[in-house]
Structure 1
Amino acid sequence: MWAVYALCSAFFAALTSILAKVGIEGVNSNLATAVRTAVVLVMAWLVVFVTGAEGGVWNIGRKSWLFLVLSGLATGASWLFYFKALQIGEASKVIPVDKFSVVLGILMAFVFLHEAVTAKTLIGGALIAIGTFVLIL
């Protein structure tokens, strides 16, 4: 089931990029990121309330709070850089280069989470890395 969710994520991430590229025309990239973030914030809290998960906020531990906040800061930085790149670059180049995060995420999962290194993961990551560098050069 995780693959279905991941494919849905990929579809909406692609759609997000195209919609953002059209919407960012003539708009400051930081302002555009703030507008997008506000919409995501409202949507996320709506889902929390619709699913009845709001009570769980009191059960989040300190370590989880710390890492969720750090993750949010990393997401914010990513979105700010992404929107600036999207504003000044071609979407067909910015989008796949942004997905180099997949390779970096794989490497960080190996180093920090001690996940198993498999041939399939290494080959897939290498192909993504090669594709990224072909687009950059």
Structure 2
Amino acid sequence: MTAAFSTWQFWAILSAVFAALTAIFAKVGIENVNSDFATLIRTVVILLVLAGIVTATGQAQALGTISGKTYTFLILSGLATGASWLCYFRALKLGNAAQVAPIDKLSVVLVAVFGVIFLGERLSTANWLGVALIAAGAVLVAYRA
């Protein structure tokens, strides 16, 4: 069982489960609150939990040991995450979770495209077929007849 904890697949599946729970909990949680304020509350909770984890496990690093490039890209990632969360909560406030979440997961398609363009990653024909199916599936699940 310990070997399973060290695989990317295990953690990716947990990520998907928690992302699904995020949509459900958030949809209920934003019912009577402004979506931006709800995002702030969520962010504070995440900050406190991560601070506790880093402290408890001794994973903190001296800030001077981190390169400027790393800081730049982590800051850009944080800004993108914040923008994503604000947009996601606003979409959840306005729409159904079962429709919002699949469109949000078009990020999977965009990561594949951006990975090829910006990171030089290579996808096989089968991989591109999977990307196309994810895109089509997200649109079909979100489609309201």
TM-score (norm 2): 0.90
Alignment match, 1:114: 120
Between the two proteins, the alignment pairs up a number of residues equal to: 137
Aligned pairs for 1:30-109 (under 5 A) are 30-109=36-115
CA offset at residue 133 of structure 1?
Answer: 2.5
CA offset at residue 119 of structure 1?
Answer: 2.3
Q: Which runs of 5+ in 2 are unaligned?
A: 1-6
In 2, are the aligned partners of 1:97 and 1:136 still within 8 Å (CA)? no
Matching residue's letter, 1:42: L
Mapped partners of 2:44, 2:64: distance in 1: 23
Question: Percent same amino acid among aligned pairs?
Answer: 48
2:24 to 18, 33, 44: 18
Cα-Cα RMSD: 1.2
In 1, are the aligned partners of 2:109 and 2:131 still within 8 Å (CA)? yes
Alignment match, 1:124: 130
Mapped partners of 2:61, 2:137: distance in 1: 44
Alignment match, 2:14: 8
Mapped partners of 2:139, 2:62: distance in 1: 43
In 1, are the aligned partners of 2:102 and 2:139 still within 8 Å (CA)? no
Task: List, as ranges, runs of 4+ consecutive aligned residues in structure 1 with deviation greater than 6 Å.
Answer: none
Matching residue's letter, 2:79: L
Mapped partners of 1:71, 1:79: distance in 2: 12
Comparing 3-12 with 37-46, greater Cα deviation is found at: 37-46
TM-score (norm 1): 0.95
Mapped partners of 2:35, 2:94: distance in 1: 10
Other structure's SS at 1:115 match: coil
Other structure's SS at 2:77 match: helix
